[in-house]
Structure 1
Amino acid sequence: MARIVITEFMDERAVDALRAKHDVLYDPKLVDAPARLHAEAAAADAIVVRNRTQVRGELLAALARCRVVGRLGVGLDNIDVPACEARGMKVIPATGANALSVAEYVIATAMMLLRGAYQATPEVVAGAWPRAALSNGREVGGKTLGLIGFGSIGQLTAKLAQGVGMSVIAYDAVMDSAHPAFAQAGVACVGLDDLVAQADVISLHVPLVDSTRNLFDARRIAAMKPGAVLVNSARGGVVDEAALAAALKSGHLGGAALDVFDAEPMPAGGVFMACPNLVLTPHIAGVSAESNERVSSLIAQRVLEELR
């Protein structure tokens, strides 16, 4: 019987599936107790994490007998994958399991920001009637969605966008126009600068690496269409937060939705204070009741397979 340590929240049915076969420590708050986490890690044959647990440095050194790292999500920037693999540890992300949740988040926030009518509840309840002020909202149908990154999440986002009448263009640094995914999805492959200039809504689906850090800096944000909307459900650090705040306050952008940030949790106050047309969420684009069940079930199954 192996020892499995789960450091962040996981669907209880998936935890029970692991408990039926192995000795499991499940503590969703373990990530916030580093000394105890490192002590528990020493006896772990497998560790299951989300995005906050940093599997590197001291924690990686403490995982002396670990054989598998299950990632409840798809991003791997919190895991030193080469170092894990060098120690014989298999790293398993939940590829594809949260794609629908992210895709729905992108389309929902884009529609909300384009329409601009969904933050009027306090005024209406107070007896105001801002009908004229809110009558210039824009429809999503006929707009162009630009996807930066065209993996499984980008492709599903394209499908949903087409379903509400958007045209879709995409750029992917590792996929050229001959890649079959573009033709299969009915999506035009374009260069990055062309995408930025043409899209009414831009959605980011890239990892945080050296080449994508501050990919959307002040210069690139300024190159976006006036009134365009930017959605980042990928990784904090891809967007220059100060530059984005300035573009919103100046009126150059029509709106933005951020689910990820340079620092998580984001410090109180900061550059986004008093920004108009802004939606901020705490890294939950890929987390819904359904996606948590899918992600957790997939990782539990794969961890059990690796521990046979």
Structure 2
Amino acid sequence: MTERMGFFTDTSVCIGCKACEVACKEWNDVPDDGFVFRATSYDNTGSLGANTWRHVAFIEQPRRTPPREEWTGAEGGEGQDGRDGREGHDGIEGWLMSSDVCKHCTHAACLDVCPTGALFRTEFDTVVVQADVCNGCGYCVPACPYGVIDRRERDGRAFKCTMCYDRQLGGLEPACAKACPTDSIQFGPLDELRVRAEERVERLRREGRPEARLYGASPDDGVGGDGAFFLLLDEPETYGLPPDPVVTTRDLPAMWRWAGGAALSLAGAVTVSFLSTRRGPVPSPAGARRGWWR
């Protein structure tokens, strides 16, 4: 059995260069996604989608003015700098950069709902879409707990990151990890990456970054752990990630059992009704002696 391979994305060293986005597009021949300026961020790709398999988010951190009691000489009324004593936003404190990608879930709902087998799990335990098998039904799109997979408007087929399956078959690392100049994106055996990530979190906390945390690394989370996990410097919601993702098809087995039981009960009721109609009413003993049913 081949080792499970994965991504560890350390957002603490991401510089937002977008080299991973460019490398992904070039290697996988991913088309232009329009580069629409949304007037909400300097990030021009916006989000993951059928034409963006790696997405570098630029997240502005607003600077907050301190409460009045922390200002010099601010006892009642306005502070010496003329502010009114209320805490609020005051410009930009800094930026969080994060290169997002398909999570290659341990329990992948997209695999559960695909009716054609277009989605399959590789020998590296990654999840890949076969575009020539996809019929464009779109069932996988709402099934993804992260909103990663999407359909291309041009032909309706679904696309997402393959973790450069073709490069892995040739013994090469994915294009995004190869192009990353800061090693923010690290590729390798998933178990080794998890150990490396834990050590990195401990180091950051010792250096005064108590907010450092891992996201998607635990096998005990709602999707059984991700094949692509992250070191974050803020809450997951800040990065547009669900705080507690769950596999959306977790209740399917119970639902199928319930539906099967209901179908059997209905079939039994229909059968009893049909047999009763054919036989007619059951005669009483007196009626049987008179032979009224003949």
* TM-score, with length taken from structure 1: 0.27
By relative contact order (CA 8 Å, sep 6+), the higher-ranking structure is 2
Larger radius of gyration between Structure 1 and Structure 2: 2
Report the structure, 1 or 2, having the larger helix content. Answer: 1
